[in-house]
Structure 1
């Protein structure tokens, strides 16, 4: 029994609006180093915590948490499309264990996920189906959202389940740090967009999907020129967040209300809850240490971009 953790920001804009080449090289080196550590660890099971961006989950049914019993990536923004290799029996056992621990979690036997799930599997494991993977969705976008406390409890429950498997478990968390790209909101959406958020967005035409991609690209170009055109990035908060994870003080975040987080660092910053769930899962294995911390605000990607690894002290 052993565990390795890696949390990594994702971005739909990679390859579309990129930072300077030296920054890209720096990030590529960080990802390559993480990929090498993961390959050496040789995980027998991957547990991936990630959000969705109204590509697979919509307001027709919007769970706070969902365990994928079977899952497929849609391939948005040029990310890999295809089936994720989910071990059905283990995924069912995981969902049952979380429910028995008192955390309400949905299940999906036809989960659809987007770049938030696909990118870490591509970048860190070489593809969607190279390792058995249990995908765990966290609603980090659609109000009402779960609190930091509920996310922590979810992660701890998943971690206790994984700790009892006698396997080498890789825990991944996928999410941007401070950021607020142009994502529609139900309360202010026009009738067509409201219908898309209520579920018809599953069936976008190629033209609609291209237009959606172009809106994000245009917003990124404007943000590069004027970082008040969207909610500004908040490197100070991002560094504080990474400090909290490294110190093992995850419970400190319980006191941060959802509306306060949105005001401090942007409405999409709730994606850090995937990192919190991942570190809470790691903590279930025992005391941990962290390494390979990386952070850079990247306006071209409209995000604070970071990475952080962790493992139990016994490893």
Structure 2
């Protein structure tokens, strides 16, 4: 297998220049860069990541921990993270916990600080104390898509105002004339979607509607969960003209349930979600949703984590050595599509 020194000799440059080209760092002239790339291609050189980690005293990878890679939002977020890391000459490891804290702790013990020099955490059902211990061992941690910007978790995080997202979704339905609106929450009562539902409740109260007038069900954050919840709500409350859901997957399931009940969306029932995953744009009818800044949040998370890694490398990490930083993204925004329409008089 060719070595980095052999690439440098063939290109007529120093090994450091080859390293800068591979990592897209430093000032390298375009002609020199092309010579290095041609030498890499001619020799078939591939970086040896463990050797690079030993030489530099740091791993060239970042770990992203998610609760379920089957949820289509997480691959979309992971792609945005990977793109941001690739521009920095780094790589991504995805750790799927299946919502199991023990699996998450095993990943933290085996990967953080060895295979990866930092960890991004996305709703992986991990105890904050485990994450703080990971920080103390020298592997910084950043929470991604924290849902309450005004209530930071005491760990570095990138926050999105999901309460506003719930409020925007509800206001859209209210502006269309809907007053009999059911709610489907894709988490437990005090789970990760609680802020989204609180925003919905705020908007309903602002319109003079009591929360009791809006039936709500809590369900798994899946298409199947949304389907089952929508069936139950629509059968128990046939007067509903709209459904608010706290995520796109339950919203897609709700539209399937409406179709199975013989209801037309949006003529008989309007449905709105939150997040704006790719499936929301491709469903028929296309789903009205409140889009969150997924790419921006991923880039913020990478930037914050890399900064923390460099800070940790320059001084020994200690409890309370730095105040946990919070980066807040731009606000969510409504994307109106075909799943919502004016209330129809019955």
Q: TM-score scaled to structure 2, two decimals?
A: 0.29
Q: Which has the higher contact order (CA 8 A, sep 6+)?
A: 1
Pair member with larger Rg: 2
